[in-house]
Amino acid sequence: MVHLRIVAPDAEAKKALALFEETDSVYNVIVLEGVARKPVGHAILCDVAREDASVVIADLKELGIHKCGSIAIEDIDSQISDVAVAAEKAAAGLPSDAVVWEEVESRTSENVELSGSFMAFMVVATLIAAVGILTDQLILIIGAMVVGPEFGPLAGLCVALVEKRSDLARRSLAALAIGFPLAIVASLLMTLAIDAASLVPGNFSQDKHPFTDFIASPDEFTVIVAVLAGIAGVLSLTSAKSGALVGVLISVTTIPAAANIGVAVALGDGSEGLGAALQLGLNLTAIVAAGVAVLFIQRVLYMRRKEKHRGDAGRKAAGLPGER
């Protein structure tokens, strides 16, 4: 279930109320007349079945409420109500499969910012991975994968390509284009410092570090795992099952590959660096390709649902155009 809070001027609020009253998947409708002061108007609270959340929000945007007021969205974790059960039955599909596109857009917009914290996490994750490579410790590689924030811009790029949003695409690409080189340089500098201090483990060899050798040895399984990770990551993003995202982060070697580029260059091993660069490129490409494919399918299904919704009684009550 999704909770909505709408603030709108009188005319738009009345249309929204008419929409809610005639939409079976909307319930717990509460009107607070004249309580809003900035902007001046009314506040409407309601709950809507997750399956219909995006189409109902699209109706509100069509009424122009996002321009003259606001639409706040909040997930409901638990609710005990037979009315809620009836509302869910009135909406086709399952809540776990529903995509609230506004949530997806909000999450990706937040996670693609080229902020100080994003760059810090990129650098820290890559340095952890570099230490894992030098010491051949797989647990450090896994830790670096979890810490790395790179999936945010990758998901943002997928959303941007499917929704044709050039602004989001630019921000996502900027985060990746600056974040990875910065992390690689940090790995290079740390490795040079470690080498200068004679702290590189005596048994370390670029040719033989069995537990982390896969980082610079891409093969067909690299692409397979990255594609599956891209699918799982986007499904986690759109279905609000964020717990699966940790598994996604652990399954791809973007951060470790970036770290290995820096380590290899610092220690003068060009072939190892090229292998790591190929690993990084294959992972990034496969994740984005798979993510775009999944989002495209979900978007097509949503657009079909939205088109079918155009004939609903709620839209007619709100004065919105019906079926084409």
pLDDT tens per residue, range 273-282: 999 999 999 9
| Spatial distance between the Cα atoms of 105 and 299, rounded to a whole number of angstroms | 13
pLDDT tens per residue, range 116-150: 999 999 999 999 999 999 988 889 998 999 899 99
Is 141 part of a structural domain of the chain?
yes
| Spatial distance between the Cα atoms of 13 and 30, rounded to a whole number of angstroms | 12
Q: Number of folded domains in the chain?
A: 2
CB 16 within 8 A of CB 318: yes
Q: Is the pLDDT of residue 242 over 60?
A: no
Residues 25, 120, single domain; the answer is: no
Name the more confident of 252 and 301.
301
Instruction: Give me the residue label for tokens 């670096």.
Output: 144
| Spatial distance between the Cα atoms of 134 and 272, rounded to a whole number of angstroms | 13
Q: Which domain holds residue 251?
A: 104-304
- CATH of residue 61's domain is 3.30.70
The reported pLDDT for the residue numbered 215 is: 83
Residues 90, 232, single domain; the answer is: no
Residues 137, 39, single domain; the answer is: no
| Spatial distance between the Cα atoms of 159 and 42, rounded to a whole number of angstroms | 33
Residues 74, 118, single domain; the answer is: no
Q: 10 Å Cβ neighbour count for 157?
A: 25
Contacts with 132 (C-beta within 8 Å, 6 or more apart), sequence order: 138, 139, 140, 141, 143, 144, 212, 256, 259
Is the pTM here over 0.85, yes or no?
yes
pLDDT band per the 50, 70, 90 thresholds, residue 240:
low
Q: Is the pLDDT of residue 92 over 70?
A: yes
- Tell me the average pLDDT of the chain: 89
Question: Can you tell me the mean pLDDT for 45-73?
Answer: 94
The reported pLDDT for the residue numbered 246 is: 56
Interior CA angle at 269 toward 265 and 274, to 5°? Answer: 75
Is 312 part of a structural domain of the chain?
no
Q: How far is CA 22 from CA 16, 25, 66, 81, 304, in A?
A: 10, 9, 21, 19, 21
Residues 16, 86, single domain; the answer is: yes
Is 309 part of a structural domain of the chain?
no
| Spatial distance between the Cα atoms of 121 and 119, rounded to a whole number of angstroms | 5
Residues 82, 127, single domain; the answer is: no
User: From start to end of the chain, where are the E strands?
Assistant: 2-8, 26-37, 40-48, 70-75
The dihedral built from the CA positions of residue 145, 105, 164 and 121, taken in this order, carries a sign that is negative
Is 252 part of a structural domain of the chain?
yes
pLDDT tens per residue, range 263-304: 999 998 888 899 999 999 999 999 999 999 999 999 999 999
